[in-house]
Amino acid sequence: MNKNAPILIIEDDIDDQKFLQEIFIKLNYLNELVFLNDGEEAIEYLMQMKKVPFLIISDLNMPKINGIELRARVKENQAINIKCVPYILFSTTVAKNYIDDAYTMGIQGYFKKPIDPVELMAILKTIIEYWKFSYAPGMYM
């Protein structure tokens, strides 16, 4: 895993994509941002992906394959799974059953989408700074 490798954002909502994009522009990291519009597109991308991404951020509530189902499919595929750490979920909903299921599928974090973009920026910065120091299996590929 390269600290400057791409950050994958799996998000079906164009407004949320815009919020994230604007925040990443302000954060000014070197990582390329790759937006994937739904679970199917994400799977397709992950299957052919050569590089190990620095970070994967996924929405929970998406059409066809939701964030937890998508993580479950990633977990089933050992070749992809090892590249998909850290895998972070963002959702409006923070119901206990979702959180339980998501961690069972091997995510590294679950965050409630905040209302205030300033707060979202603080969360993203914390996540990225933390993972810059943390070791992950993808580093040894």
113 is an interface residue for other proteins by CB under 8 A: yes
Q: For the beta carbon of residue 121, count every other beta carbon within 10 angstroms.
A: 18
- Residue from the set 15, 48, 50, 78 that interacts with other proteins by CB under 8 A: 15
- Could you tell me which stretch among 66-74, 80-88, 110-118, 126-134 binds other proteins (CB under 8 A)? 110-118
Contact 102, 13 (CB under 8 A): no
Least separation in angstroms between CB 108 and other proteins:
23
93 is an interface residue for other proteins by CB under 8 A: yes
63 is an interface residue for other proteins by CB under 8 A: no
- The span from the CA of 41 to the CA of 120, in Å, is 25
Q: Which amino acid is at 104?
A: T
21 is an interface residue for other proteins by CB under 8 A: no
95 is an interface residue for other proteins by CB under 8 A: yes
Assigned token pair, 80: 């992809």
122 is an interface residue for other proteins by CB under 8 A: no
- The span from the CA of 12 to the CA of 3, in Å, is 26
